Amino acid sequence: MAKVTIQQLKEMKQKGEQITMVTAYDYSQAVLVEKSGIEIILVGDSLSMTMLGHPGTVNLTTDEMIHHIKPVVKGAPTPMIVGDMVFGSYNEGPAQAVRSANRLMKEGGCDVIKLEGHCPEVVDALVKGGIPVQGHIGLTPQTASMLGGFKVQGKSLDAAQKIVDEAKSLEDAGAFSLVLECVPEELGRAVSKAVSIPVIGIGAGRYCDGQVLVFHDMLGLFDKFLPKFVKQYAQVGQEIVRALEEYKNEVKIGAFPGEQHIFGGLSAEDLKDIK
Ligand code: KIV
């Protein structure tokens, strides 16, 4: 299969074909996503919680992000791979942003980068530097405390207008797509109509140009909290615990390894003189 391109995503929006995106953070997850045919993989900074056990996204470093992008690139040649810019890697301004994004692309090997917040001057500098940018507006987890916590954004008319304006100005700055997180469904529809670039929703209702979910949330691999907007398509975590318990019990009672798991070739008699 050929690599998913920005042009292809744009055409999907034009045709009204929904775009699918999911996070992945290592080689084996990427191989599974590749098999599913999902168009975009986000190596999201949510890996800070799901893979590294941090309480939030702020602790994650660019080195750690690169470490996780590399195996995803190896495991999934077809989907577009988005590398997430970590907190503190672009808030000093355009020059720092270009340096950090260059590292994600050159050292990690991702195809494009994503960054949170309304920072058109940074997006403009990145795009002028040849770096494709996906914006992320609405609820932006890296700065959630400044937005009043993990809450639905854009609930008043003024706040909704602000989000539409941000979307337009990020498009004008050259972003090729946007992630829109945790807004009322009708605002998701309005933002998607207001811009010509694909808007990928997460908790933004049914009328965006596509949807994104966190791998661990949708598969039941992370049980610290589950936002209302997540659908769990499987309970993989429970199945893993069941298998681990069965393995433990079988070892304890001598049922594993069985006849079919052992190597013959020598008898006890052959080895009787070995001390
Ligand atoms: O890091 C992440 O997983 C994200 C998604 C919530 C879109 O940014």
Question: Helix, strand, coil shares of the chain as percentages rounded to 5?
Answer: 45, 15, 40
Domain ranges of the chain: 6-234
ω into residue 198 within 30 of 0, thus cis? Answer: no
Q: Write out pLDDT tens, residues 85-140.
A: 999 999 999 999 999 999 999 999 999 999 999 999 999 999 999 999 999 999 99
Of all protein residues, whose CA lies closest to atom 2 belonging to ligand 1? Answer: 44
User: What is the C-alpha separation between 163 and 216, in angstroms, rounded?
Assistant: 28
Cα of 45 vs centre of ligand 1, distance in Å, is: 6
pLDDT for 40 equals: 99
**Res 143: pLDDT:** 87
Which of 175, 191, 161 lies closest to 119 in space, CA to CA? Answer: 175
pLDDT band at 72 (very low <50, low <70, confident <90, very high): very high
Q: How far is the CA of 161 from the centre of ligand 1 (A)?
A: 23
State the virtual CA torsion across 149, 155, 156, 157 in degrees, nearest 10: 130
- Report the separation in Å between the CA atom of 118 and the middle of ligand 1, taken as the mean of its atom positions: 16
Whether 142 lines ligand 1, by a CB cut-off of 6 Å, is no
Residue 181 among the catalytic residues: yes
Q: Ligand 1, atom 4: nearest CA belongs to which residue?
A: 44
Question: Using a 6 Å cutoff on CB, does residue 81 contact ligand 1?
Answer: no
pLDDT at 3 over 90: yes
User: Over 90: is that where the pLDDT of 225 sits?
Assistant: no
pLDDT at 57 over 90: yes
Residue 46 CB–ligand 1 contact under 6 Å:
yes
Task: State in Å: Cα 214 to ligand 1 middle.
Answer: 7
Q: How far is the CA of 44 from the centre of ligand 1 (A)?
A: 5
Q: Is 49 in the pocket of ligand 1 (CB under 6 A)?
A: no
Closest by alpha carbon to 227, among 2, 49, 31?
A: 49
- Whether residue 223 is predicted with pLDDT greater than 90 in this model: the reply is no
Q: What is the CA radius of gyration of the chain?
A: 22
49 CA to middle of ligand 1, Å?
A: 11
- The SS3 call for residue 138 is strand
User: What is the average pLDDT value for the chain, to the nearest integer?
Assistant: 97
Distance CA 106, CA 142 (A): 24
Residue 255 predicted with pLDDT over 90: yes
User: Which pLDDT score is estimated for 144?
Assistant: 84
pLDDT at 149 over 90: no
CB count, 10 Å around CB of 201? 28
Q: Give the whole-number percent of the chain exceeding pLDDT 70.
A: 100
User: For ligand 1, is residue 44 a contact (CB within 6 Å)?
Assistant: yes
Is residue 65 within 6 Å of ligand 1 at its C-beta? no
Which residue owns the Cα nearest ligand 1 atom 8?
44
Other C-beta atoms lying within 10 Å of the C-beta of residue 6: 16
pLDDT of 147:
83
- Predicted confidence band at 182 (pLDDT cuts at 50, 70, 90)? very high
The architecture CATH gives domain 6-234: Alpha-Beta Barrel (3.20)
User: Does the beta carbon of 100 lie inside 6 Å of ligand 1?
Assistant: no
- Pocket flag, ligand 1, residue 202 (CB < 6 Å): yes
Query: Looking at the predicted structure, is the pLDDT value of residue 254 above 90?
Result: yes
Q: Cα 51–53–59 angle (5° rounding)? A: 95
* Beta carbons within 10 angstroms of residue 52's beta carbon: 12
**Amino acid occupying residue 109:** G
**How far from chain centre, in Å, is Cα 97?**
20
Contact 73, 109 (CB under 8 A): yes
Please pick, among 34, 39, 181, 245, the residue that the annotation labels catalytic: 181
Average pLDDT in the 195-215 region?
A: 98
CA nearest to 119, candidates 102, 103, 142, 151: 142
How far apart, in whole angstroms, are the C-alpha atoms of residue 199 and residue 193? Answer: 9
Q: Euclidean distance between the first and final Cα of the chain, in Å?
A: 58
Q: Mean per-residue pLDDT for 170-196?
A: 98
Instruction: Provide the 10 A C-beta neighbour count for residue 78.
Output: 16
SS3 180: strand
The 10s digit of each residue's pLDDT in 6-23 is 999 999 999 999 999 999
Name the residue at shortest CA distance from atom 6 of ligand 1.
Answer: 214
Of 44-53, 217-226, 227-236, least confident by mean pLDDT is: 217-226
